[in-house]
Amino acid sequence: EPEVTQTPSHQVTQMGQEVILRCVPISNHLYFYWYRQILGQKVEFLVSFYNNEISEKSEIFDDQFSVERPDGSNFTLKIRSTKLEDSAMYFCASSPQSSGNTIYFGEGSWLTVV
């Protein structure tokens, strides 16, 4: 069964460093997402991406975050200058269409900022 894959599974970085989290969505999907889950808290929406542009973003997704689909398969989340509070599990997800359709999640990238 097709799946969303994410790399790295775990990354430790120093505060202030840039981090890129990578994702390969399911190949025929059109909508791509990033969510995050701070330890012990709920899963939160960060951003959705469709037709090579951001279609919706949350308040969390400020100027230090960016997303990119550099080629036909990868979807990346960049955090420009990491802060301690960015430590979380970051989930990439994709879906064939918007609203009401199943969103398929990857296994997550655990980011620890020290």
Instruction: Give me the residues that bind another protein (CB under 8 A), please.
Output: 4, 31, 33, 35, 41-45, 48, 50, 55-56, 58, 91, 93, 98-100, 102-108
If the CB atoms of residues 55 and 74 are measured against another protein, the closer one turns out to be: 55
How near is the Cβ of 84 to another protein at its closest, in Å? 22
How near is the Cβ of 16 to another protein at its closest, in Å? 28
* Chain CA centroid to CA 7, Å: 11
If the CB atoms of residues 65 and 104 are measured against another protein, the closer one turns out to be: 104
14: Cβ contacts below 8 Å, ≥ 6 apart = 82, 113, 114
By DSSP bridging, strand 5-7 and strand 65-68 are: unpaired
**Distance separating alpha carbons of residues 47 and 58, to the nearest angstrom:** 6
